[in-house]
Chain A
Amino acid sequence: MKALVFVAAVAWLVGWGTSADAAERTFLLAPGEVVSAVDSFNGRLLTNSAALPKRVKISKGASIFDRVKCPSLSVEPGRLVSRISVIDSAERAAAMAGTRKPRDAVSAVLNLLGADSWTPPAVRFSSSVPGWTAAPLMVGPPLVVFQASGATAGDSTAFARLPGQFRFVLDLSQSQAGPRGEFSLVMSLTSQSLGGRRRRPEIVECFFLANLVPADMEELGRRLAEAPLPANARARLQELFDRANERLAAGKLDGARESLATFAGEAGSRMNTQIDPQTTQSLMEQALRVMEAL
């Protein structure tokens, strides 16, 4: 038995289960995006409900599926948001959702709606959202959790307007990415209704999917490589991309930002002359996203 545990531990340490093309990818998530991700997930859940193993219900501003409740945060002003976790797989979410045994219907629906998985542990995570801290969530291997610190939890509509972003780095495979390079990450959100005279406060944990494009140079490099570009434009943009990468490697963040701004400017100014609008948008959008992450 001890030997088995040892083998498992070693396998976990060396990255057992990671696919060949897995890489560390950086994600940014603004509070407003969390709120819209929950609504978007509820919409997908409801419109796809005919294909789901259990019935979806609606009650008091929330969708309910297999006893998992997802209240919308864009409406109820009295709901406190206290914790947001990034979970490595739909199966883990099912295990976390069930008090005695995993709620398999939850993992089934998350997988049906395209959940991507990543390989724990989460390596780097931080929060620039006021009143929110980042910490590892110890559910088996460490996952990512962002937690509101005490009184600053605030109500859900105020939460949506909070500045700053949650930032985390995950190890996942590019093969899971969607057509726009996006990943569908499993998340959980803990919130609490305030309660009233005759109502007790209710704490609920919603499991949902957030579609996020990595805010990293890898995605920009991938888009640049796939972009249909004339030779001179490609050479110039590649040069700027390489320069930004070099500056990042040297820890010169301002310099990298400057190179990315030049990259975005040069890609933009070539729109309709050398680069088609869709390619321009794809390159510029990603350059700006990376700048946000720096």
Chain B
Amino acid sequence: MHGSFGAKEAKVAAGAAPPRRSGAAFASRSVSGVEKTVKRLLATLVLLGILGTASAAARAAQYTFLLGSEKVFESIERFDAFLAAHSSTLRGVVAIPAGVKYAGRYCVKPSGGENLSLAEIVVLDSAASVAREFGSRGRRNADRIAQAMGLAAVDAWAPPALLADSSTSEWVADATWADPPYLPHFQAQGLLEGSSVGFLTEGDAGTVFRFTINVDPGLADPATGFFRFLLKLRAKGETASKRGKPKTKERTCFTFVDLRPVDPPALGALVDSLGISDPPASLLHRKIERILTQLARGNVDTALEILGEFVGVVGANAGGRIDPVRGRVLLEAVLDTQRGLTFVPSFPTCGNSKREIGEACDGADLAGQTCESLGFHSGVLSCGPDCVFSTAGCVPLPVCGNGVVEVGEECDNGPNNSDREPDACRRDCREAFCGDGVVDLLEDCDGRNLDGSSCREEGWEGGTLRCDDECFFDEDGCFDRDF
């Protein structure tokens, strides 16, 4: 069952903010009349400060998280419930069809009436970073969202992100997105291309996004091992306007999601935070050490077998040293570790017959293009081995005047093409013909061009000579006076 906002939030509700080190707190104690004592105290303070910094640095761990698309959609529902639950504290929370509106923003699940699909995900580093996403405008709304995320006790992490990739090549993953602080950023291929390739709707489960960041292990929920991260989501799609015409819409909103690190050391930390005692605790830690050793040697399969042994120990001790509830939490965490160890990121691969980001085509997938659409006369378009169009099979549009008779041309004599010379290839690459205005061989005339002739020339006394449709003289208008 899900839906609870968890112990983290309860901690905030109860006013139990995590303890923070402060140099000022120590400094206020250094009021003494004895200089020596003050100096000693200051020296101690400096040392404590150094130790504090060092321990803070030591606390940060490089953890990897997997974010499934179904979890993203689930987060929308959870955030709606969260906003409703906190509507006494958060001003302006209102129910709208298919969701909850707060601070001018709302997330709507694709099933919720608007035909919007998920197109972009950013993992923000803290509640304070919401302001950056809003820019100079809408600061009040940014503050309100930051307030909600504060109530949700989202965990801060230290940028920059170290890695970002995904299980589908239809999404572009980037750990160094935009300007500092460099956050994990995932974007559907269609968002860059102006199409809908890769856009996700609620039924599209199975797409997984991976990111590695520096996070304080102490922030994990001790009962579950979850960290709570703030997400910025962008959805795009078409909605029907009042006049019935489809309208392109975009929506950006914020949610939070609970994720467990997939690193084996995090599993060890969970064994400790769940309060599992010896003998299984030591045994479980030894298994984790062995997993790490095998991973360092590149033996992933052996590491997975040992992970199985780990689960075996959990199961065998369930109901005894490990109570069933904690056993189930550990089991879920093991499955997360398993997913982390077996995760295979997907990158654009030329030759997989699927057009991906950076590819014009792939195999038979020509993105709907043809020789004609690429500006050729006709022919068969194909995809080259480098996923760039091959136009070898395309027939180019003819170029009249290049001296080469091409498709659609009757003749081409290059510079000798002429619209004046009899029997010459014409400048539109057609053979001389009756009607071209030039009197060619076997023609008496052509249109109004009577080749200098007249009725008199033709032996009549007068009248008007004409040219017929077959380029012969029409002497019907000529006459002799005698008649």
Contact = CB atoms under 8 A, between A and B. Distances in A.
Interface in A232-264: 257-258, 260-264
Contacts of A266: 312, 315
A264 B87 contact: no
Contacts of A35: 4
B46 to A, nearest CB: 42
B13 A36 contact: no
B384 to A, nearest CB: 40
Nearest to B317: A261
A95 B242 CA distance: 39
A272 B95 contact: no
B112 A47 contact: yes
A224 interface: no
B436 to A, nearest CB: 69
Contacts of A59: 87
Interface of B: prevailing SS? helix
B103 to A, nearest CB: 14
Nearest to B101: A58
A117 interface: no
Contacts of A277: 335, 338
B4 A210 contact: no
Interface stretch (A86-94, A143-151, A279-287): A279-287
Given A39-B81, A267-B315, A272-B307, A33 B1 contact: yes
A36 B3 contact: yes
A214 interface: no
Interface in B311-370: 311-320, 324-325, 327-328, 331-332, 335, 338
A47 B327 contact: no
A261 B87 contact: no
Interface centre among B3, B89, B338 (most CB of A within 10 A): B3
Nearest to B339: A277
A48 B318 contact: no
Given A50-B112, A74-B10, A61 B5 contact: no
Interface residues of B, number: 60
Interface in A33-87: 33, 35-44, 46-51, 55-63, 72, 74-77
B85 to A, nearest CB: 3
Interface centre among B14, B81, B328, B332 (most CB of A within 10 A): B81
Contacts of B414: none
Nearest to B87: A58
A152 interface: no
B98 A42 contact: no
Contacts of A270: 308, 312
B77 interface: yes
Interface string B92-117: 01111111100000001101110000
Contacts of A77: 13
A280 B308 CA distance: 9
Contacts of A210: 1
Contacts of A281: 331-332, 335
A209 to B, nearest CB: 11
B318 A291 contact: yes
Given A264-B315, A271-B307, A291 B324 contact: yes
A212 interface: yes
A21 B405 CA distance: 81
Contacts of A268: 308, 310-316, 331
Contact of B95 (A57, A263, A280, A287): A57
A182 B99 CA distance: 26
Contact of A285 (B2, B5, B328): B328
Nearest to A33: B1
B84 A61 contact: yes
Interface centre among A47, A48, A74 (most CB of B within 10 A): A47
Given A32-B4, A271-B307, A288-B328, A261 B316 contact: yes
B68 to A, nearest CB: 14
Contact of A265 (B83, B316, B324): B316
A157 interface: yes
Interface string B1-37: 1111100011001100000000000000000000000
A58 B331 CA distance: 37
B320 A75 contact: no
B295 interface: no
Contacts of B94: 58
A259 B457 CA distance: 125
Interface string A122-133: 000000000000
Given A58-B100, A288-B328, A261 B318 contact: yes
Given A74-B9, A77-B13, A261-B320, A43 B80 contact: yes
Contacts of A57: 95
Nearest to A265: B316
Contacts of A48: 98, 111-112
B309 interface: yes
Interface centre among A35, A39, A55, A281 (most CB of B within 10 A): A39
B112 A37 contact: no
B327 A288 contact: yes
A265 B87 contact: no
Contact of B84 (A62, A157, A261): A62
A224 to B, nearest CB: 14
B328 A264 contact: no
B22 to A, nearest CB: 29
A289 B307 contact: no
Interface centre among A33, A60, A267, A292 (most CB of B within 10 A): A292
A211 interface: yes
22 contacts: A37-B1, A37-B3, A40-B78, A42-B80, A42-B84, A44-B77, A48-B98, A48-B111, A48-B112, A61-B86, A77-B13, A260-B319, A261-B316, A261-B318, A269-B311, A271-B307, A272-B305, A277-B338, A280-B308, A284-B315, A289-B328, A292-B324
Interface of B: 1-5, 9-10, 13-14, 76-78, 80-89, 93-100, 108-109, 111-113, 301, 304-305, 307-320, 324-325, 327-328, 331-332, 335, 338
Given A37-B1, A39-B85, A61-B85, 18 more contacts: A39-B78, A40-B4, A46-B98, A47-B76, A48-B98, A49-B95, A50-B97, A50-B98, A58-B83, A61-B84, A74-B10, A160-B10, A261-B320, A264-B327, A268-B310, A270-B308, A291-B324, A292-B325
Interface of A: 32-33, 35-44, 46-51, 55-63, 72, 74-77, 157, 160-161, 210-212, 257-258, 260-273, 277-278, 280-281, 284-285, 287-289, 291-292
